Amino acid sequence: MSGDYPSQQQDTLNDFEAAAAEKPRVVVLISGNGSNLQALLDAQAHDELGGDIVAVVSNKADAYGLRRAKDAGVDAVALPHREYDSREAFDAALIKVIDRHEPHLIVLAGFMRILTPGFVDHYRGRMLNVHPSLLPAYQGLHTHQRALADGVEEHGVSVHFVTEELDGGPVVIQAVVNVEPNQDIDALIEKVHAREHLIYPIAVRWFLEGRVKLSPQGKATLDDIPLPPTGLRMSHADAAEELDEDLDD
């Protein structure tokens, strides 16, 4: 296009093109393998995320998810929480690292640190988490083991807004996994992961499109309609269709 317009008009055209090209920025926090991060990176690569992952930050330097970020050409930062004297000091350092990227959304993807109220407040309404249970059941850790020990017939995964209450934030999307009699825990975890990898990119895209919001009253809404406490229940087929994915099981 250069040379077709006087220089001032060309500058304006460049500005418009630059603005059109810039997508919402996402920072992802991890602690481990990063399979959910990979699902988000894959969705982005297929133009299904609605934004760009601009940085991945891990509180564990040996997290394989950092390798996934580097392989995808994304800024990968290790910020070991053990190097800080307090949870507040770690969170303050984490905010500095994150805010360099001026993100529109913070995504927790297997991030295994409880965040302080100050951190949560700083990103209120623009921070999501994926939790391996049908919230409000089984908040906290070891959800699969606890669900199996209780003999539940249904388990699953929830994507929710992050608030001060651990895993207590308003739910956006849930996916249900049927638990077989004598269910093998590794097979259950694999089924839960498969559903996480579908519904998380959907929830992120809907947020970045402005469809999913956290109201000032602390309620999650989809297209301005309040979501129920269990969020939107998505079947495997519906989620696969929404993401234009082939069903994998």
Ligand X SMILES: NCC(=O)N[C@@H]1O[C@H](COP(=O)([O-])[O-])[C@@H](O)[C@H]1O
Secondary structure class of 240 (helix, strand, coil): helix
167 touches ligand LMY7XDAE (CB under 6 A): yes
Near ligand LMY7XDAE by CB under 6 A: residue from 49, 63, 162, 243: 162
32 touches ligand X (CB under 6 A): yes
- Tell me, by CB under 6 A, how many residues bind ligand LMY7XDAE: 16
61 touches ligand LMY7XDAE (CB under 6 A): no
- Strand pairing report for 154-161 and 171-178: antiparallel
Secondary structure class of 26 (helix, strand, coil): strand
Give the DSSP letter string of 145-209: HHHHHTT-SEEEEEEEE--SSTT-SPEEEEEEEEPPTT--HHHHHHHHHHHHHHHHHHHHHHHHT
- Pick one of ligand X, ligand LMY7XDAE, none as the site partner of residue 113 (Cβ within 5 to 8 A by kind): ligand LMY7XDAE
Nearer to ligand X, 32 or 170 (CB): 32
Say whether 142 is catalytic.
no
196 touches ligand X (CB under 6 A): yes
Q: What distance in Å separates the CA atoms of residue 97 and residue 114, rounded to the nearest whole number?
A: 18
- CB 173, CB 205: distance < 8 Å: no
129 among annotated binding-site residues: yes
35 among annotated binding-site residues: yes
Q: What distance in Å separates the CA atoms of residue 126 and residue 147, rounded to the nearest whole number?
A: 29
The arrangement of strands across the sheet holding 212-214 comes to 212-214, 220-222, 225-226
Nearer to ligand LMY7XDAE, 72 or 166 (CB): 166
Near ligand LMY7XDAE by CB under 6 A: residue from 34, 51, 156, 169: 169
- Pick one of ligand X, ligand LMY7XDAE, none as the site partner of residue 34 (Cβ within 5 to 8 A by kind): ligand X
108 touches ligand LMY7XDAE (CB under 6 A): yes
Q: How far is the CB of 189 from ligand X (least distance, A)?
A: 7
The set of catalytic residues is 131
